[in-house]
Structure 1
Amino acid sequence: MSTHPQRFEILVVPEHVEGRDAAHLAAAAIRSAVVEATGETGASGYPRYAGQGVEADIDPETRTVEAVLVDGAELDYGLTARVR
Structure 2
Amino acid sequence: MTTESQRFTVLLVPEYVENKDTASAQDVAVRSAVVEATGETGETGYPRYAGDGIVADIDPRTRTVEALLVDGAELDYGLSALVAS
d(CA) in 2 for partners of 1:13, 1:23: 12
TM-score, normalization: structure 1?
0.94
**In the alignment, what sits opposite 1:80?**
80
TM (normalized to structure 2)?
A: 0.93
Structure 1 residues 73 and 24, CA, compared in 2 at 3 Å: closer, same or farther? same
Aligned residues: 84
Runs of 4+ in 1 over 4 A off after TM superposition: none
1:62 maps to a residue whose letter is: T
Listed one character per residue, the Cα deviations across residues 13-72 of structure 1 (whole Å, up to 9, x for unaligned) are: 011124342220011100000000001000000000000000000001110000000000
Aligned to 1:50: 50
What is aligned with 2:35? 35
Shift of 1:8: 0.2
**SS of 1:9 mapped into structure 2:** strand
* Gaps in structure 2 of 5+ consecutive residues: none
Partner residue in 2 for 1:3: 3
Q: Determine the C-alpha separation between the residues in 2 that align with 1:3 and 1:30.
A: 30
Return the alpha-carbon distance in structure 2 between the equivalents of residues 68 and 55 of structure 1. 6
Three-state SS of the structure 2 residue aligned to 1:43 is coil
The CA RMSD measured in Å over matched residues stands at: 1.0
Whole-angstrom CA distance in 1 between matches of 2:45 and 2:16: 27
Gaps spanning 5+ residues in structure 1: where? none
